[in-house]
Chain A
């Protein structure tokens, strides 16, 4: 997590320079006018009575789902570690004539115990190693697995799912401020699993994009960029069944958090 007051990323460009006080350029009357407009809007509605029973019921369900998800992921994590140990032993056996191991799948799950003072913010724990960025040609369709394909053009990110419907997100339409580090997140899926992807931008030193589930499980995304280090790229990952919102965090190569979308 970026702590307040963190020094700006030196590779983020002119947009990362300290900004002046936003009130400096506005007259006091203008600020008061805006404050009054906000208060008028806020007091223009009359809230209903608090639906306490519904809140309690939904809160208990949320707690049960979170506990169940964490338990399942803990079991999955233990099984993954055990399998990794077995594989490592097999590959370090000097008598083994097995071929070189195939590349690891793009998404890995690392279970992590929740903090006793856990909050909705993403973790500040950096990924253990930087993710290698795959450089692709403009328009080169990358097989992202499970029927999904992703490709990049100078305009931005494009992807298509098993249903054949194409989507895109532009980096040049003005909705993305590439002067500062940031990530976007789009997802599509069903109760069995989901495909997550997004843009990352505002840095030429990306070290990884990581998703964190409501139970603390972490998924490292695959990164794609166009040639020439354009300062932006695309990340994608698959997740299994999740019962809550995922947070997305982008780190630099030193493991410093550059930007996060809280879950």
Chain B
């Protein structure tokens, strides 16, 4: 996935930052988008990423720089699973239409319909199936990479992916949603 600039932020460098501000500014947009897919709610997504980055900042000096991408993805997914455990999946049981003011395509009825259909389909998955789906079809990770993020075996990833994919393919609203002609979006490629 490409890193996106976040021009509005002001990376106020401090002595113990050691590159954290630059990392956070670059990673924030893509992390929020991933969290949006994991949570289905824009505010939950931003809260989740903020919590994740805070924990990463707390351990920043001990995180190997060569593993930072894996570390942050793993932290994001794990924090989401913890959030769901605390809330007992109540939030995911109710599909939420994200705040329209923040939509770049707000007002486009067909587009909103498709996005709602996806959120409904994702809400029917287990948290781990959903994470595997997001990591595979949005983050475009390999099964090996997903297994590393989720700290599980490749067989478990395959099982989650198979069941998650089958659920998405057969979900009545997602299957019925019209697919407009559009080139493959670059955000799904690393």
Contacts and interface: CB of A to CB of B under 8 A. Distances in A.
A39 B138 contact: yes
A47 B74 contact: no
Interface in A11-58: 15-23, 25-26, 30-58
Contact of B152 (A2, A46, A53, A118): A2
Contacts of B45: 45
Interface stretch (A59-67, A103-111, A146-154): A59-67
Interface stretch (A84-92, A223-231, A255-263): A255-263
Contacts of B126: 175
Contact of B11 (A33, A38, A52, A116): A52
A6 interface: yes
Q: How large is the interface on B (under 10, 10 to 19, 20 to 34, 35 or more residues)?
A: 35 or more
A121 interface: yes
Nearest to B60: A59
B24 A40 contact: no
Contacts of B154: 4-5
B1 to A, nearest CB: 9
Given A42-B37, A45-B45, A180-B159, 18 more contacts: A6-B153, A8-B155, A32-B184, A34-B168, A43-B33, A44-B103, A48-B46, A58-B54, A59-B53, A60-B57, A60-B58, A62-B58, A117-B64, A119-B63, A120-B71, A245-B79, A259-B152, A262-B82
Interface of B: 6, 8-12, 14, 20-21, 24-25, 28-29, 32-34, 36-37, 42, 45-46, 50-51, 53-60, 62-64, 67, 71, 74-75, 77-79, 81-82, 85, 88, 98, 102-105, 111, 114-115, 117-119, 126, 133-134, 136-138, 144, 147-148, 151-156, 158-159, 161-162, 164-166, 168-169, 174, 177, 179, 182, 184-185, 187-188
